[in-house]
Structure 1
């Protein structure tokens, strides 16, 4: 491949979603003078992903921007954090991530390629790019948008004639499967898919207000994307407004930090943006608060104080810590270029290895360490770390061993102990993501985690799968923490030079799923990772003995009673029959039974 051609799947040469080539499709539309119609994501209810409303007055129409607004534009002036408002879809997590993205022009142009317009030559076709499990994907859409009562049904611009955000939302919905698939998500998903970076969550209570403010300030200076939210106690609380004008269960973008002096006192401030639009904070240091009367005009100008109801506002860090529960951060270093805000040296300090794999029931889905007979059957990856780091000056809370669902008490070390260890060890960052768990009308994340074991010298040249005895006799040196039903789990880890094996797993055995594992190591280390695949001669202990005659008679009797005259079983009946002769840890899930009945491609090794 020529050095001038970017690698496939890179931002400069993204994979074509559904094999649609933007350039050729646009050229064809201009040549035929017919606006582009995207038949792969049609203007139908199936793309909405929810049942149609039976009331004719609430029927959805699909209109192009110029049919909605006479003055329609792709971008009004420049993109900014005050442009995006949420429509009739519970996807504020996505819009908050998009709001954060507009703060970084270089990152923004990765997702929204420059040069797109509603002006002539106009073909009704647009393209957007998203990171998906190690590669960038370009999604092509037409510009027909769902409208009800003359207004956009989902996200819209505050200016009403700007359409870039609505079209990004449509492209992402197409990538996931439907608009309804965007309901109820985690901000970190959007942040990762817009940047390729690594996103993680921090409880606000984990740090004192001054320390949290310094953390946010440092993260913003590195080009990180930040957001926060107030946890709703139940579904009914989502969308309710507090006495201070803050919305529970909705994501806010953190756009800046600053400090001002009042009466010789230094006040630490955080600036937030509510993607919902015009519900705004009314507490201390809000736009109309008297606290600003003691601040001179030059200082107000310096921090861009805007006294208007635009969804953006300042809040003191002390009040921030009292009112918000969680902060989400997306570090765009390593893995993605933060543009003018990044430290180029920090990017070059890391190298990346990534792998795609799957958990296959009865084969490579061994479950957690609570299942020692099958835990070792999870996919195994061999890591080699060969060179120690220089001192790693960053302090991460995740350096504390928080334990998991299978082990005893967490090991807590002092900051001094951790810092001394870092100077002697190799730094790496491991992230495990589960793939394609969003469905038509719900999110179905499995509980996932990873564990890392030290490989002794006498086994370092082995190419075989390590068995259960290995994991019972060799030390567990690190792990992601408790199993979580989120798209990703990650951990920054400091290990001695040497050989290691990492096992990604689901909490329960025989849960089917695909995953993406990426491992960063500081350059200078030799990091090699290879998957130890599930052996083809895999034998199950539960099937090692022939069934007893009484078991055969019992199964035959059960089949005769349930199958009926046609001697057929549906998926549920088949699942009950098979699982009646299997140990509980090896029960087949309903989806696998359905695939077996309908002859779909499913591997049981």
Structure 2
């Protein structure tokens, strides 16, 4: 028997969208969440410049289809940069995207997206990240068509969004984001592309920096209350910055209220650095913070020009005193007092530029998964006795311990981020977010996955505090070196959805999907002792076959149906098992037909019947409650006992195709499923003449094999 690849050839483990069986339909439908314009729409319109018909210069782009606004502004015109700048058009550009894209100012009374502004202000310091979001070689010079492209990270992949450069203005001035330099337009164009992806400018009215961080970097989010953060907060922030993480902070309270020390409540700031200075015999720990407005700064201790700087004895701290507008220093104690929330976006090596090797970024592993009703949607730990085992599993191997000389414990730090896919888009149709979470169990390197019995014996070593109905749930963990298993779940069983699981670890640690029901061929499962088959043998059914067949000594699908009904009746099994329908009999005929007449001779019947008798014994063995049906757990075991090795994804597809509405496998569907599986494997082996596990098949052969089965 061939070892089964993960859901077919060419499939990437953990990425269901790369499976050939799902990819066959992908070209018929647009990718969920994609906001990119078709190629045909990128051509210049009648006026000579591109006009985006998907996101037009109209109120529908401002407020969405509902037309209800949460901010009181009136857009007077939509203008292209050449008309809304006092500078020469030739000087218009997307911005100096080197070490900084310049300062950005926001007229905060017009739209509440300072949360978005704080993120792009912070990202503007990272050229590698900005080049990913804003592809180079775009501008207003030669080749200008009024069309601009941006990229946002959506569920594990970068999605291109195309917009025109018609921007909303009030009295010939940009209505929302704008830069300090009148000829710089990367920030308002990026904002427009992001608004298009989210549905409208209105959708940016209130949001969370973490959301924009993830969309613009592909990083993993983490949120803290200051009171929950490590005691040595300065050291914690330093380690985050060393890893290239993006950090935002905010002071809780009404939006836009300025306190006496220059901190605005309900407003997002960026943490851009940490440092220490020597004051007499003390080392003072400082945090550098940036206000994306480019103005309104902290005026307390260690602010620009404060008396504290005159007490510093360090000779190399002069460069710390003079910061750019909007950026300031404050002590770690004042940081704790003035900010209540800290939001972090962790980046991996692939998301950062690290030519000098100073950064120590995470290593990221990304996997897709699905909770399928009846097969892989087992609910949370509350259902541990019944369904929890059905959830997908991912093996986590931790061997690279933390490189922290100040920490005596031998542990490995990691981050796990679980994101539910497409749920925000589905909310438009009334579908709410699922409550999602995950648990981490101690693993066994000799086992491919944790069984129902394994999960009963041991409690998890780590769990999320609670399942949340948010886009993404993240947990930071630290465990001794060893093997572990991550089990993502919904709050309740049979809740269907797609998810993205991301694991960030130190270099040398790994995470991979745990495949259920896949055994090495050199260690096949021992078949259980099966009870005798209640059906008559093929020889005992010969007289009945001869009575059903015609002069050609073969039976049609209709005649096979009558034969099987009579056999079940004589065996007293017709009440326990549903009868074989005509479509099932057609399938059995096509899978055993050697001559192409749609009929079955006694030789073919005898061969098939011997297998059906064996599979009937397996069915009886695993139909433990005698209900005449099997659930998915029993089906897993039955397939192995029948000699078939299938992976997790193929088992899900089998369930989707062959289960009844109550998510059980009837006797008839079990027989049809195994007949199909057996035939397809035999067909492959026949064409794989050299046993390489790869076959060449012509277009005609492919159609003939798949259509007549």
TM over 0.5: yes
Change (3 A) 1:318 1:455: closer
Q: Is the 8 A contact 2:416 2:504 kept in 1?
A: yes
Matched, 1:318 2:339: no
Residue of 423, 434, 440 corresponding to 1:452: 440
Candidates 108, 122, 141, aligned match of 1:119: 141
1:565 alignment counterpart: none
Alpha-carbon distance in 2 for matches of 1:38, 1:288:
49
Is the contact between residue 455 and residue 474 of structure 1 (CA under 8 Å) also seen in structure 2?
no
Q: Report how far residue 124 of structure 1 moved.
A: 0.8
Determine if contact 1:225/1:330 at 8 Å carries over to the other structure.
Answer: yes
> Aligned equivalents of 1:266 and 1:498: distance in 2?
41
Give secondary structure in 2 for the equivalent of 1:282: coil
Q: Which residue of structure 2 aligns with residue 90 of structure 1?
A: 112
For 2:63 and 2:72, the matched residues in 1 are separated by 18
Partner of 2:353 in structure 1? Answer: 338
CA deviation profile, 1:426-471 (whole Å, cap 9, x unmatched): x75432112334468999654321123346688x357xx955x664
Q: Does 1:137 align with 2:159?
A: yes
Offset, 1:157:
1.6
1:530/1:324 CA distance change after superposition, 3 Å: same
Aligned residues: 488
Q: Write the mapping of 1:382-421 to structure 2, written as runs, cut at 5 A.
A: 382-383=394-395, 385=397, 389-394=399-404, 416=408, 419-420=409-410
Indicate whether 1:217 and 2:229 are aligned.
no
Name 2:210's counterpart in structure 1.
Answer: 188
Deviations 1:190-237 (A, max 9, x none): 22222222231233234577x2222223322332211111123xxxx2
Alignment of 1:93-492 (within 5 A): 93-206=115-228, 211-232=232-253, 237-263=254-280, 265-294=282-311, 301-303=318-320, 305-306=322-323, 310-340=325-355, 342-343=357-358, 350=363, 352-357=365-370, 359=371, 365-372=377-384, 375-376=387-388, 379-383=391-395, 385=397, 389-394=399-404, 416=408, 419-420=409-410, 422=412, 429-438=415-424, 445-454=433-442, 460=447, 471-488=455-472, 489-492=474-477
Q: CA deviation at 1:336?
A: 1.8
Summarize deviations over 1:335-394 as a string: whole Å, max 9, x none.
Answer: 4223346557x56x846241143x466775544323457652764124264xx6243225
| TM-score, reference length from structure 1 | 0.69
Task: Report if the CA contact (8 A) 1:17-1:140 is conserved.
Answer: no
Please give the secondary structure, in 1, of the residue aligned with 2:257: coil
2:85 and 2:291 map into 1 onto residues whose CA distance is 25
- CA distance 1:257–1:377, change in 2 (3 Å): same
Residues 371-380 or 436-445, more deviating: 436-445
SS in 1 for 2:382: coil
Match of 2:593 in 1: none
Q: 1:520 to 1:293 in 2, by over 3 A?
A: closer
Question: Does residue 40 in structure 1 map to residue 54 in structure 2?
Answer: yes
Alpha carbons of structure 1 residues 53 and 113: separation in structure 2 relative to 1, 3 Å: closer
Structure 1: segments with no counterpart, 5+ residues: 1-7, 10-14, 397-414, 545-605
Where relative contact order (Cα < 8 A, 6+ residues apart) is larger, the structure is 1
Greater C-alpha radius of gyration:
2
Q: How many Å apart are 1:541 and its aligned residue?
A: 8.2
Closer, same or farther in 2 for the Cα pair 1:496/1:420, shift >3 Å? closer
Does the 8 A contact of 1:449 with 1:507 survive in 2?
Answer: yes
Deviation at 1:497, TM superposition (A): 4.3
2:71–2:111 CA contact under 8 A, matched in 1: no
Equivalents in 2 of 1:480, 1:55: separation in Å? Answer: 37
Residue 253 (structure 1) shift: 0.6
Q: How does 1:40-59 map to 2 (within 5 A)?
A: 40-49=54-63, 51=67, 58-59=74-75
Q: Provide the C-alpha distance between the structure 2 equivalents of 1:275 and 1:363, rounded to a whole number of angstroms.
A: 48
- Structure 1 residue 121, shift from structure 2 partner: 3.3
Displacement, 1:286? 2.1
Identify if the C-alpha distance between structure 1 residues 38 and 530 changes in structure 2 by more than 3 Å, giving closer, same or farther. Answer: farther
- Would the alpha carbon gap of residues 525 and 103 (structure 1) be closer, same or farther in structure 2, given more than 3 Å must change? closer
Q: Deviations over 1:27-48 (max 9, x none)?
A: x439x87111111222222222
2: CA distance between counterparts of 1:391 and 1:149? Answer: 59
CA contact (8 A) 1:258 1:268 kept: yes
CA distance in 1, matches of 2:273, 2:337: 19
Task: Describe the shift of the 1:254–1:522 C-alpha distance in structure 2 as closer, same or farther (beyond 3 A).
Answer: closer
Q: CA separation in 1, counterparts of 2:386 and 2:255? A: 40
Deviation at 1:167, TM superposition (A): 0.8
SS in 2 for 1:258: strand
Within 2, Cα distance between the matches of 1:284 and 1:336? 36
Residue of structure 1 in register with 2:542 after alignment: none
Aligned partner of residue 370 in structure 1, secondary structure: helix
Q: Secondary structure at the match of 1:303?
A: helix
The alpha carbon displacement at 1:275 in A equals: 2.1
Q: Secondary structure at the match of 2:125?
A: coil
Deviations 1:254-308 (A, max 9, x none): 11222334455433222211224433222222225333455699766412514x8
CA gap 1:187/1:18 in 2 versus in 1, 3 angstroms? closer
1:420 and 1:377 mapped to 2: Cα distance? 31
